[in-house]
Chain A
Amino acid sequence: MTLTRTFHAMGTVTSLRLRRDDIHDRELDTVESIFRQYDDIFSLYQPTSELSRIADGSLRLPDSSQLLRENYAEAIDWRNTTAGTFSPHRPDGVIDLSGTIKAKAMSDARDQLTLISPTGWLLNAGGDILTSQNTEEPWRIGIVDPHDRTELLCTIRLKPTWSAVATSGTAERGEHIWRHNPESEFAQVTILAADILTADVLATSILSGGKQQLDHATHHHPIDALTVDRNGTILATPALRVHLSEAHSSEGARSRA
């Protein structure tokens, strides 16, 4: 009863899961093509992409497409919202929109998926998750243990206000995040939100900005957070803590029965 499609894009793998089997493959092609379109414009790995041409100086920013400039402006807004702990610039000054583009593609894919199937879909792009808001049975999401990536830290049953889950960490790609605060203590940051762009950007900003940015973000945005620091200490926002504790005790009761 489940349909799964996986494809490579943006340097990672995206998997799409539908709780039905009456969808034609061609319909899912449209979802895949959204990721390719973003890649063609914004990838710094493709030397011919529009953003690569801005980086190498052959295209001036004012001459770039409206889509590119809008995405750049949006990323700048996020930089300002996060006190610079998220940035659309590499340390060498090159415009790098990889921090927002995957989430933007996922958001566009959501619109397409909602047309295909209003309920029962889940999109996982390289470890960041976006789901249909309406689902008969809640999706169960495992959060990877950053200190042993073959294990899960916990399981979260998603609610409509948590239809997006983004995790940033240092485990897979090494220290690829430009740390705003060198004393930042987090090894992994997971954010649950209603939209994937908010979740993704804030996860990155908290990993970079540390506890100070965690407090700021959880206060100013309707999100929940689960963080693991380098010593293994786990922090959770109150709603998530209650949710996890309840899930734990009910699972425990079930396994004892």
Chain B
Amino acid sequence: MRKRAIAVSIVSSGAVIIAGWNIGTHAQTAQTTEAAPVPPPTRVAAPPAPTQTVIPQPKTSAPASAPPSIPAQPAPAAPAAPAPSNTFTGSSVSTPYGNVQVKVTVDAGKITDVTPLHLTDDGGRSVQISNRAAPILQQEILAAQSANVDSVSGATYTSDGYLKSLQSALDQAGR
């Protein structure tokens, strides 16, 4: 009887540890879902998500090691010596989540950009990876007639702030 109680207690503390470990893993996974691991200089880690829709962000600081469940596979694009600026295309690598192929830009021995060239899901369909927001110049988008608008979107104004808002001017104009 006593042995059984001890066994139960061992099992339950084991369960607590496993649960705790799971929680830790979850937290880490949540944090790193989109921030790709910063690739070490000589190899490129496969994108780390089950959704594998990750766009690596070399500038983002990310944990040095990938979450435990994620395979980090070396890609062949591996510059040995520092080069002024070069682009390398890795071969297609099969992962549990589909095929991945990446392009790596190397500048003075450092990886400056990692672009996924091809992602396919389990069914072999291509996965859309192109909706990433990219920089745009204000001069590029400031239309000449930009004051001629029907309504204005901005950070939520308070009832008091409304009177100072551009929307208030439009409403008063009653266009």
Q: Which of B45-73 contact A (CB under 8 A)?
A: 51, 53, 55, 57, 60
The answer to the question of A60 belonging to the interface, with a C-beta cut-off of 8 Å to chain B, is: no
Q: Could you say which residues of chain A place their CB within 8 Å of the CB of B144?
A: 251-252, 254-255
Are B57 and A215 interface neighbours, CB within 8 A? Answer: yes
A144, B148: Cβ atoms under 8 Å? no
Selected interface stretch from A47-55, A104-112, A167-175: A167-175
B171 sits at the interface (CB 8 A): yes
A8 touches B57 (CB 8 A): no
With both beta carbons as reference points, the residue of chain B lying nearest to A239 in the complex is identified as B131
**How far apart sit A239 and B134, CA to CA, in the bound complex (Å)?**
11
Contacts of B122 in A (CB 8 A): none
- 15 A/B residue pairs, CB under 8 Å, sorted by A: A17-B151, A83-B31, A154-B143, A168-B155, A173-B155, A211-B60, A213-B34, A218-B132, A219-B132, A234-B137, A239-B131, A241-B136, A248-B141, A251-B145, A254-B145
* Among candidates B51, B134, B167, residue contacting A15 with C-beta atoms closer than 8 Å: B167
Query: Which residues in window 111-130 of A have CB below 8 A to B?
Result: 122, 124, 126-129
Q: Contact check, A142 vs B153: say whether CB atoms are below 8 A apart.
A: yes
Residues of B within 8 A of A251 (CB): 143-146
Contact (Cβ within 8 A) A255 B145: yes
- Contact check: which of B146, B151, B156, B166 meets A139 at CB < 8 Å? B151
Say which size band chain A's interface belongs to.
35 or more
Q: Contact: A218 with B166, CB < 8 Å? A: no
Min CB distance, A150 to chain B, in Å? 7
Interface size bracket, B side = 35 or more
B81 within 8 A of A: no
Residue of B with least CB distance to A247: B143
Which one of A15, A225, A233 contacts B171 once the chains associate, using CB atoms below 8 Å? A15
Contacts of B55 in A (CB 8 A): 215, 219
Nearest chain B residue, comparing its CB with the CB of A98: B156
Output the least CB separation between B139 and chain A (Å).
9
Chain B residues near A59 (CB-CB < 8 A) = none
Known: A150-B166, A152-B166, A251-B143. A238 touches B131 (CB 8 A): yes
Instruction: Note all chain B residues with C-beta closer than 8 A to A134.
Output: none
B161, CB-defined interface residue at 8 Å: yes
Q: Give the contacts of B9-60 with A (CB-CB under 8 A).
A: 30-31, 33-35, 51, 53, 55, 57, 60
Among B136, B137, B146, B153, which residue has its beta carbon within 8 angstroms of that of A165?
B153
Q: Is A66 an interface residue (CB 8 A)?
A: no
Asked if A214 is at the interface of the complex by the 8 Å CB criterion, the answer is yes
Q: Chain A: residues with CB nearer than 8 A to chain B?
A: 2, 4, 6, 8, 11-13, 15, 17, 83-84, 122, 124, 126-129, 139-144, 146, 149-150, 152-155, 165-173, 188, 190, 211-216, 218-220, 225-227, 232-239, 241, 244-245, 247-248, 251-252, 254-255
User: Chain A's nearest CB lies how many Å from the CB of B174?
Assistant: 5
Whether a CB of chain A sits under 8 angstroms from the CB of B85 is no
> How far apart sit A166 and B154, CA to CA, in the bound complex (Å)?
8
Determine whether the beta carbon of B155 is less than 8 Å from that of A188: yes
Contacts of A173 in B (CB 8 A): 155-156, 158, 161
| A126 CA to B171 CA, complexed, in Å | 12
**Contact of A152 with B133 at beta-carbon distance under 8 Å, contacts A127-B152, A146-B155 already known:** no
Contact B136 A122, beta carbon cutoff 8 Å: no
- Contact between A171 and B154, CB atoms less than 8 A apart: yes
Q: Which residues of A sit under 8 angstroms from B35, Cβ to Cβ?
A: 212
- Measured between beta carbons, the chain B residues less than 8 angstroms from A154 are 138, 141-143, 146
Does the CB pair A235–B133 fall under 8 Å? yes
**Known A-B contacts A2-B174, A154-B141; A212 and B57 likewise in contact (beta carbons under 8 Å):** yes
Q: 8 closest Cβ contacts across the A-B interface?
A: A169-B155, A144-B154, A142-B149, A251-B143, A235-B133, A255-B144, A244-B141, A13-B162
